[in-house]
Structure 1
């Protein structure tokens, strides 16, 4: 297959390429945020599905993605044509994702919680499949755009900055649209609005990477045995992936709990946008600082520091019931500072791993490793809402239909707080021993 040419060490990518690549995070951020934030409440408090079942319905379609993402990676690795191996999937997968996402919240409203829940599960499966064809090539691109570790960190920082904007817009805007319209129609209008943002991201990254040069030809893996062998032989990739997946589960729990924290623990749904602004806003401000940490101390140490900051912020949320709302929002801001780091550092280290393996083996690894990476990220983020749903169920959370007013028992309120404060911190800290075993340490 033909592989895009690398930009040499010390040579910066054009701003057009950096910005164009980063625009893809509008799509990944929208799909990564809104289902994690609103799909569980949609099932429990609009369709009347029990919390435990709703958690499973959010998890199972994502489990399919775990199996399918490596397939998408192999397909893109072996794709040839004038558009290259990645860009055809960026536009096709992005548009398919937008269509299926709009359909996700546009169910038939049959009045049967079982039928409506099965519809959501089926369409979410289609969303996950479309997302695989977009996200896997998207994650593979940095290793093919530049050989320079510092430039990869900058490229990833641009990506995370746009991702933060997408999370901010979706995290604050999607619930606002839902609440402004109200009821099940609010979810439908919100779904269409987010679908438009996904299309903008897909078109943006497709056009923004149009001028990437193409050069040398390398073989790719051709069988599942070779896929497994490639993963087995790359110790740095395995441990980096394991740390990222564990922490992604914690992030998934956190996202799933924001709506419940505002509504149930604080008792004011209008606080939710403020929590999201506090969570995402610092990411835009501290990204240059995290880049300086990477330049001076290395990416791995930066990753450790970001993890500790994230955990400290989430533990602070345990005081939600006794702290002033302003203090809770301040804790969310600390979480945001850490979140920016635990996103940028592993994503900046991934292309370094890929390039090292491609040089060692003489084979294309970008799509393969990106596919396995995305599968792991998908699994982690999907486990989050499922775990949070389980915590709610253990606390006795009472589900309801649209428009129905329910008073939650004290155990459910406690579960809401523990689920968003303690659980994400434990998962974040659990990634540190895994990260210590990652032998790769690249200093820009």
Structure 2
């Protein structure tokens, strides 16, 4: 298949404004939104964040089946992008609308329902979005280029959404700040939705293969597809680490570094170096191999996280150096698994003669979603273990045990979880990937 045009790469990459916003902002702000405007206890807030995402583990493979069926019948998955993306934008604003029922239980139940519906809509969008690279090109290096474009735009989207959302909430303050933030980020998601829908109109479509007929066949595929399961395990563990780190940014700014306004600078200090490294990692991967690049990026992230363990005694500037180092590694652990995945899908489709992109993307998205959701849940448990004091106006003084829990959840734990993926990246298992 011929090389993709720059307009196709760019159009596809615009979808990252939707995935980056939804994947980042709830991880940053949903936990403090619950604990510090609704007085929901940390452990309970962690469960609230987890439950809707856990539902996606069940729903996303189903969304993959629907997406594969649409491809077989219509020759396109694009309508799923449009319907899902619009739903995410509207429901995201609803999550942070804070109805003010006058009861913590009622308000928290509203958040659970709105977030559940929003996560469902996101599955409808993200599953076909992740499936497209395996279909619009079958070239090994072209897929890496497409992924690097996607991750480059993703870094910009994360910088805008992840850096701007805390600024909005802190500048306006209180419940109103969260409401305004929800609407603004919803508009960013809408921009990404229409961008990818219109930008992929002329994208090529690979060979249309028959859809896998039933769930029994899908289970058999996953049982036999060892290389996919192995890569999926790495991505899940590392997503869990990233979810834990994101959940800790707001709390670390306030209680480790002593300034709530630093949360935006922490985020920019993390994502900015990642943006710079996005075009560099693919080049390293092309020279030394994707697996080597993936391993090295994981090590770099781990070293940055380890250095942040001393944030309470280090000068602020030194801490930001370690934040930047973790950001450099973060870029690589985003680029390489998404570049390897289409290769594995292509190999499996050649082996079976049937469509695998949709269901693979559904299972992949479910794993990523669960990892990112368990991260805040795990961080919420750490808050509870550290006797964190929940409040309705963010004014409570925290005990030293809570500050220690925040520091470990923001630094050491994410580093350990990302490093756990390194021994799983075995060339003997990921056949055909170098």
Instruction: Mark yes or no: TM-score above 0.5.
Output: yes
1:433 is aligned to 423
Deviation at 1:326, TM superposition (A): 1.2
Tell me how far 1:83 sits from its aligned partner: 6.3
User: Which portions of structure 1, spanning 4 or more consecutive aligned residues, are displaced by more than 6 angstroms?
Assistant: none
1:107 and 2:102 are equivalent in the alignment: no
Task: Report the counterpart of residue 278 of structure 2 in structure 1.
Answer: 287
| Deviation for aligned residue 1:60 | 0.7
The question of 1:151 aligning with 2:142 is answered: yes
Please give the alpha-carbon distance, in whole angstroms, between the structure 1 residues aligned to 2:71 and 2:150. Answer: 26
Unaligned regions of 5+ residues in structure 2, if any?
none
1:322 matches 2:313: yes
**Residue matched to 1:373:** 364
Instruction: Give the CA RMSD over aligned residues.
Output: 1.3
The equivalent of 1:344 in structure 2 is 335
Mapped to 2, the partners of 1:47 and 1:332 lie a distance apart of: 30
- 1:212 Cα offset (Å): 1.9
3-state DSSP of counterpart to 1:108: coil
Equivalent residue for 1:234? 225
* Deviation string, structure 1 residues 113-160 (Cα, Å, up to 9, x no partner): 111111001100001100000000000000001111111111000111
Scaled by the length of structure 2, the TM-score of the pair is 0.98
| 1:53-64 matches, cutoff 5 A | 53-64=44-55
CA–CA separation in structure 1 for the residues paired with 2:268 and 2:54: 30
CA distance in 2, matches of 1:284, 1:214: 29
Which residue number corresponds to residue 415 of structure 1?
Answer: 405
State the alpha-carbon separation in 2 of the partners of residues 233 and 264 from structure 1.
48
Q: Secondary structure at the match of 1:217?
A: coil
Contact kept in structure 2, 1:307 and 1:428, CA below 8 Å: yes
Match of 1:331 among 291, 303, 322: 322
- State the alpha-carbon separation in 2 of the partners of residues 196 and 288 from structure 1: 28
Seen in structure 2, the aligned counterparts of structure 1 residues 59 and 310 have a Cα distance that, compared at 3 Å, is same
* Alpha carbons of structure 1 residues 91 and 83: separation in structure 2 relative to 1, 3 Å: farther
Contact 2:72 2:211 (C-alpha < 8 Å) held by counterparts: no
Secondary structure (helix, strand or coil) at the match of 2:278 reads helix
Structure 1: unaligned runs, 5 residues or longer: 1-7
Correspondence 1:313 to 2:304: yes
Q: 1:441 Cα shift?
A: 4.5
Partner of 1:85: 76
Q: Equivalent residues in 2 for 1:23-422 (5 A)?
A: 23-80=14-71, 84-214=75-205, 216-402=207-393, 405-422=395-412
> Following the alignment from structure 1 to structure 2, what is the Cα–Cα distance between the partners of residues 380 and 81?
30
Does the Cα contact within 8 Å between 1:149 and 1:442 map onto a contact in 2? Answer: no
**Match status 1:19 vs 2:10:** yes
Paired positions, count:
433
Contact 1:177 1:189 in 2 (8 A): yes
Deviation at 1:286, TM superposition (A): 1.2
Q: 1:324 and 1:375, CA in 2 relative to 1: closer, same or farther beyond 3 A?
A: same
Change (3 A) 1:313 1:441: farther
Q: Secondary structure at the match of 1:180?
A: helix
